């Protein structure tokens, strides 16, 4: 019996067919490829590398924010949702990217930030005016500058409007107003059904239509669970917002996909998302697989550590319930990493990382490969924060293409680069790994190719646990006709299982008898 509360699902559950065999590549545009020598990556650079992306086996791209922004939070502080930031190019350049990608069979998801904008957004500039206007309630304001309840995060006393405004996180990101599930301050909190809160939903639909009409294939949705305030758990009011948006997509753009940053698939899929990221959160399965540490000693206790101290059952206790809850309704998206997370190479050796990344592409759902992980790029320690990166900055460094200046990322002088490149002697590059049949790069290509060639290994394929014991290896599971044994330890491990058939792919030492 599932441990989750049953939630209402959409009556219409159309699924974009292309997600069934989608493998995504996440591109951080600032540091992927710079073609004009200003030290910052651009859309032209992404276009120039589409053949490379395709060579990986990736047939879809998630593009981190490229909209106009003052870049206090690397573009997650949007100033104009309908304008490409000048440093990346123009709207026409983005449309060209859509077209060129589609010619090569590659889909493009844009990064939608629905919960907040920049404090330089025109909506906010109008909202902070003392005079009542259509944007006055586009954001959440108290009705007096003297009121700032401590349970909320407010910016106080910097506008002429008599009130303080709510922010989601950074002070430069005022929270858009989708209402409050529980009204505790009726003098300034609105219910989600209020026309002004509904106007915020319609404004976000308008943004989505704008880019879908120009060729986008959907959106990855930032902080998708953070819209309606004062609700916990299943977040029914926020789910209503997304079901409303999903209804619009089903009716007008049935092949458009929305993928949520929520990490609660049984809730987010019920809210209308096609897939939900499996993220590094406390006590969830993803952490037990790839990130778990002893809280006192700092010793790695992840399943994919070669020290053999991980516990696969902790992953399964979380994952199997989630997988069962969303089966046939949507997907779980495993990630190798993302722009918010230290690269796995911070904890893992190249071999451990190779095994972990390969596992991501052998699981059900829609997998995501973070740029540079395919060559084992390092998490660069000790970098000064850039554009709100702080502890995340070391994961956002320039892509390492070859051994030329700046590893082929840019012709700019080193001091002009968005972030410094890895100059260590063992810095991995695409050009070097292309020549090594056993490299992480070529291993990932083989695994993704195997996935594409076999429906059993794709998004909808079954998942069955064959052998999983607490504190023991190997972990063995089935995907249709395929039996997969996982053993990241440096010792031969045996399981009491027998199988007939031929070996089609091998990296580690897992075996059965």
Give Cα 427 distance to the centre of its chain.
Answer: 25
Q: How many CB atoms lie within 10 A of CB 427?
A: 17
Residue 230 has pLDDT above 70, yes or no: yes
- pLDDT the model gives residue 14: 76
| pLDDT tens-place string over residues 8-54 | 444 445 799 999 999 999 999 999 999 999 999 999 999 999 999 99
Distance CA 301, CA 274 (A): 32
Range list of H helices, 301-409: 312-326, 350-361
- Over residues 398-406, the mean pLDDT reads 98
Query: What does the mean pLDDT of the chain come to?
Result: 95
- Over residues 425-448, the mean pLDDT reads 97
Residue 185 DSSP SS3: coil
Residue 484 DSSP SS3: strand
| pLDDT tens-place string over residues 275-284 | 999 999 998 9
- Over residues 369-389, the mean pLDDT reads 98
Distance CA 411, CA 318 (A): 47
| pLDDT tens-place string over residues 172-212 | 999 999 999 999 999 999 999 999 999 999 999 999 999 99
- Assign 3-state DSSP to the chain and report helix, strand, coil percentages, each to 5: 30, 15, 55
Full-model pTM: 0.96
Rg (the chain; Cα; Å): 23
Query: Which of the four pLDDT bands, split at 50, 70 and 90, describes residue 2?
Result: very low
Kind plus residue range of the DSSP H or E element containing 81: strand 80-84
- pLDDT the model gives residue 490: 87
Across-strand partners of 24? 60, 368
- Over residues 479-498, the mean pLDDT reads 93
- Over residues 479-491, the mean pLDDT reads 94
Query: Which of the four pLDDT bands, split at 50, 70 and 90, describes residue 508?
Result: low
% of the chain beyond a pLDDT of 70: 96
Token couple for 186: 């009726």
Across-strand partners of 220? 111, 259
Closest by alpha carbon to 370, among 409, 408, 391, 339?
339
Do 365 and 275 form a contact (C-beta atoms < 8 A)?
Answer: yes
Residue 463 has pLDDT above 70, yes or no: yes
């Amino acid at each position: 019996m599932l441990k989750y509360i049953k939630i209402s699902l959409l009556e219409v559950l159309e699924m974009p067919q292309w997600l069934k065999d989608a493998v995504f590549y996440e591109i951080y545009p600032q540091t992927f490829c710079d073609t004009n020598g200003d030290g910052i990556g651009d859309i032209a650079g992404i276009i120039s590398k589409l053949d490379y992306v395709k060579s990986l086996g990736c047939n879809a791209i998630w593009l981190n924010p490229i909209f106009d922004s003052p870049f206090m939070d690397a573009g997650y502080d949007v100033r104009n949702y309908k304008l490409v930031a000048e440093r990346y190019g123009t709207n026409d350049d983005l449309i060209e990217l859509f077209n060129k990608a589609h010619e090569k069979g590659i889909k493009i998801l844009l990064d939608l930030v629905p919960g907040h904008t920049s404090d330089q957004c025109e909506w906010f500039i109008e909202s902070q005016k003392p005079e009542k206007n259509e944007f006055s309630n586009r954001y959440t304001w108290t009705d007096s500058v003297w009121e700032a309840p401590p349970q909320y995060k407010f910016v106080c006393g910097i506008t002429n409007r008599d009130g303080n405004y709510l922010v989601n996180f950074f002070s430069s990101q005022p929270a858009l107003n989708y209402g409050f599930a529980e009204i505790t301050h009726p003098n300034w909190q609105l219910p989600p059904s209020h026309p002004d809160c509904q106007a915020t939903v319609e404004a976000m639909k308008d943004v989505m239509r704008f880019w879908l009409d120009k060729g986008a294939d959907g959106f990855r949705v930032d902080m998708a669970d953070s819209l309606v305030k004062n609700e916990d758990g299943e977040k029914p009011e926020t789910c209503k917002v997304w079901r409303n948006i999903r209804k619009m997509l089903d009716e007008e753009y049935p092949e458009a996909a929305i993928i949520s940053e929520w990490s609660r698939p049984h809730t987010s899929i019920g809210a209308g998302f096609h897939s939900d990221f499996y993220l590094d959160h406390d006590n969830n399965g993803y952490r037990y697989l790839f990130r778990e540490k002893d809280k006192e000693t700092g010793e790695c206790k992840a399943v994919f550590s070669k020290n053999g101290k991980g516990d696969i059952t902790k992953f399964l206790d979380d994952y199997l319930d989630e997988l069962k809850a969303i089966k046939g309704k949507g997907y779980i998206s495993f990630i190798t990493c993302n722009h918010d997370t230290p690269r796995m190479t911070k904890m893992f050796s190249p071999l451990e990382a190779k095994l972990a990344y390969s596992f991501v592409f052998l699981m059900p759902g829609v997998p995501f490969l973070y740029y540079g992980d395919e060559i084992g790029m390092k998490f660069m320690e000790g970098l000064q924060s850039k554009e709100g990166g702080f502890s995340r900055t070391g994961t956002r460094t320039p892509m390492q293409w070859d051994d030329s200046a700046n590893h082929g990322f840019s012709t700019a002088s080193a001091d002009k680069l968005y972030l410094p490149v890895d100059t260590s002697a063992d810095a991995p590059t695409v050009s070097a790994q292309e020549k090594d049949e056993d490299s992480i790069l070529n291993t990932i290509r083989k695994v993704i190719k195997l996935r594409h060639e076999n429906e059993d290994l794709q998004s909808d394929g079954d998942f069955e646990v064959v052998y999983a014991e607490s504190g023991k290896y190997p972990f063995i599971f089935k995907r249709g006709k395929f039996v997969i044994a996982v053993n990241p330890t440096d010792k031969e491990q045996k399981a009491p299982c027998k199988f007939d058939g031929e070996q089609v792919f091998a990296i580690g030492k897992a075996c059965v008898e």
